[in-house]
Each structure stands twice: as structure tokens, then as C-alpha cells.
Structure 1
Amino acid sequence: MTEKVKVLLVDDNQNFIELLKDRIEFSDTFEVIGEANNGEKALELMLSMRPDLVILDMIMPMLDGLGVLERFNQSGVKDYHPKIIILSAIGQDSLTSQAIGLGAKYYMVKPIDFDLLIERLEQIIQEESKNLSVTPSASPGDDFAVQRVITEVLQMLGVPPHIKGFVYLRDAVAMVYEDESHLMRITKTLYPGIAKRHDSTSQRVERSIRNAVELTFQRGSKELFANFFNLNMPLSEGRITNGEFIAYIAHHVRNEVNHEASS
């Protein structure tokens, strides 16, 4: 019998927890092993019970969802990396990007569709299983510091965090950070590698990244982009290739990580 995925539920609404627990345990995949109604208790149970998945409310007493993520990252635990799903009544891009930057795997805005949540949980577990079945070098950006800096740069540039292209860009930058030769084989190794990790296709990955790049340039500061990308051309239409966008960010991330390491 396959071992069930252990889940911790964190929400200050007990009725919501009961409804969510019933729906999760209806699935043969998951088992709820703990509940918490505040952030302090959530952090305690995360460290003691080590659930595979944590479904974490953003707004809670004592310590909010972002506080839980920050304190967990500061705990010094190196051998435990739970998949954290944020639920929130607030759908602001800034909160979403902060949560993702602190390690959240997914962000859903309440009221939620329980069936959709279960579907997302199963996708996350399937993705993790695929990652474990390949060599470590095929899993880009495992270093938390690298992932954090990449996310911070994407946030700074204004890449919309709620679109698929944000996740694909984060993987692409991590892959190029580890091996710059991917820039010479974008359609041969970069897009296919990301597609495999997310059960997608190279064409969808390319289109999603293109969409993210164009949205970023349409909405963001042209002066910021001109300085960051060292460009002397009009940026109103986002005329920069996916490869150039990824290459500049990877170079910046490498400099930032090296600077932090030497400080």
C-alpha cells in the first residue's frame, strides 16, 4: 500500500478546517496529521511533525502566513522542505510574490474550490515525484539562496507572480545560473527541461515566458529596464528576446549570490 501524503492544516476558522479536512481525506492520496489555528502553533507542528504538505492561511492571530514562512526559513532546518500552499482572502500581487519568494509552492484566493485545491495538491505531488526520479543536476536552483535571489529580481522587475510564465522564468534563470550553455540551446534543452518538470510542452513554456516578458515591459518602469538590461532602445513593446531576458537576470543573480557569499 502506498504511503499517504501527510498534510498539516492551518486556519483560524475551525469550520473551514473541518470542511477542508473532510474533502482532503476523501482522497486516497492524503492524510491530515495535524491542525493549527494560529501561526505559532503552525510553526511548532511543522518542525515537530514534518508534514509533506502545509495548507497555510495568510491572515491568522499571533503570526501570519508570511511570518510563518519567514520564521521557518530562519529555523536553520536543512533536511526538510515541505510543500506550502497559501490560502488567503487577499489576492494582491505583492502578497502573492512575497509568499512565493519565501518558499510557498502555490497561492489560492478564498473562497476556494475544494476540488480544484485537491487537483493542485495532486499536481504538486506528481511534480515532486518526477523531480525525484531524475538526476540532481536536472532539478535547477535547489539552493534556497539562489531561488530567493531569483524571485526577488523577478519581483523587482515586476514580473506578474500569478501567471505561469513567472514559474517558468524562475526555472529558466535557475537552469542558466547553473549552466550557461542552455542559452545556446534554448529550444533544445531549456524549454524542454522546464516543460518536463511541469508536465507541459516546449511551445507552451516559450509562449508563457514571452507573455510574462511582454507584460513586464508593458507595465513596468522603462528607466528601470533600460538600466538593468543596459539597453538603448524603445521598450514600449517589450522588444527583448526571452533568451536576453533570462541571460541578464541569471548574470545579475550570480553576482548577487557571490556578493552575499563573500560578505
Structure 2
Amino acid sequence: MDNSRKAIYVNVTNLLHEIGIPAHIVGHDYIRHAIVSACENPALLKNITKHLYVKVAIYYDTSVYSVEKGIRNAIEVAWARGDISAIHSVFGNTVHFQRAKPSNKEFIAMIVDVVRTQMMD
């Protein structure tokens, strides 16, 4: 793993833990891999089902459906049990806790944006 990818990986892992996605759930690994991949190639966000989920599914030798479900579950766990102030610091006013959690694509895209911005500093 080169230094740039390692820095992204560590940054994403820290963000996921900060907002409340525990490392022991399968979706944690899926969402981390998806975010790191999208940080390196933002074009993957254009159609996450046909590109990003497939890439993650191949890496983990699982189905696209399992990847989508695992990521959705990870987001649901963060929304139900995560640190609200940490979530707010990442997502700002783009989400409202009483309304609904973000979609998988919204969540991944927002984290990618945060990580890419942090890497520019």
C-alpha cells in the first residue's frame, strides 16, 4: 500500500469510527473500501451500483447485494447509535436526524468529499 492510499485508508477508518460505525460489522469493511476507492477514483460515484459496489464485491468475493446491504446497515448503525455531534461535524446541515438517514450514495460521497478536502491541507 503506497503512502497516499495508506493516508486515505487511515483517515477514512478514523472518520468511520468517530461517527459510530463499529469495526466488527461487515459493512464497515465494505464502506471503507468503497470510500477509499472513490477517493482515488471519484468517477466511481457516478453509478455506485454498477461500478463501486461491483469493485467492492469482487475484492471481498461476495455479491453486489451483500455489499449494498452491508453498507446500508453500517449507515443505519451510525444513525441509530453514533455520535450525533461527530455526524453533524461531518455532514453539517445536509442531513436532519429526525427526518432520515442519508442514502448509501449520499453518505459515501460526503465522506469522500471530506477526506479529499482534508488531504489537500
Q: TM-score, normalised by structure 1?
A: 0.43
Seen in structure 2, the aligned counterparts of structure 1 residues 249 and 164 have a Cα distance that, compared at 3 Å, is same
Give the alignment of 1:82-231 within 5 angstroms.
143-231=5-93
| Structure 1 unmatched ranges of 5 or more | 1-80, 82-140
* Distance across 2 between alignment mates of 1:232 and 1:210: 18
* Distance across 2 between alignment mates of 1:143 and 1:203: 26
* Distance across 1 between alignment mates of 2:38 and 2:92: 19
Identify the residue that residue 117 of structure 2 maps to in structure 1. 255
| Structure 2 unmatched ranges of 5 or more | none
Higher relative contact order structure (alpha carbons within 8 Å, sequence separation ≥ 6): 2
Is 2:44–2:52's contact at 8 Å kept on the other side of the alignment?
Answer: yes
Seen in structure 2, the aligned counterparts of structure 1 residues 232 and 242 have a Cα distance that, compared at 3 Å, is closer
Q: CA deviation at 1:238?
A: 4.8
Structure 1 or 2, whichever has the larger Rg, is 1
Q: What is the CA RMSD across the aligned residues, in angstroms?
A: 2.0
- Does residue 239 (structure 1) correspond to residue 101 (structure 2)? The answer is yes
Matched residue type, 1:173: I
Matched residue type, 1:148: V
Task: Provide the identity percentage.
Answer: 32
Aligned residues: 120
* Distance across 2 between alignment mates of 1:181 and 1:145: 20
Give the alignment of 1:50-69 within 5 angstroms.
none
Is 1:217–1:236's contact at 8 Å kept on the other side of the alignment?
Answer: no
* Distance across 2 between alignment mates of 1:146 and 1:235: 27
* Distance across 2 between alignment mates of 1:244 and 1:228: 12
Q: CA deviation at 1:143?
A: 1.9
Which deviates more from structure 2 when the two are superposed, residues 230-239 or residues 218-227?
230-239
Give the match's secondary structure for 2:47: helix
Give the match's secondary structure for 1:231: helix
1:69-91 Cα deviation digits (max 9, x unpaired): xxxxxxxxxxxx7xxxxxxxxxx
Q: CA deviation at 1:222?
A: 2.7
Q: TM-score, normalised by structure 2?
A: 0.88
Q: CA deviation at 1:142?
A: 7.2
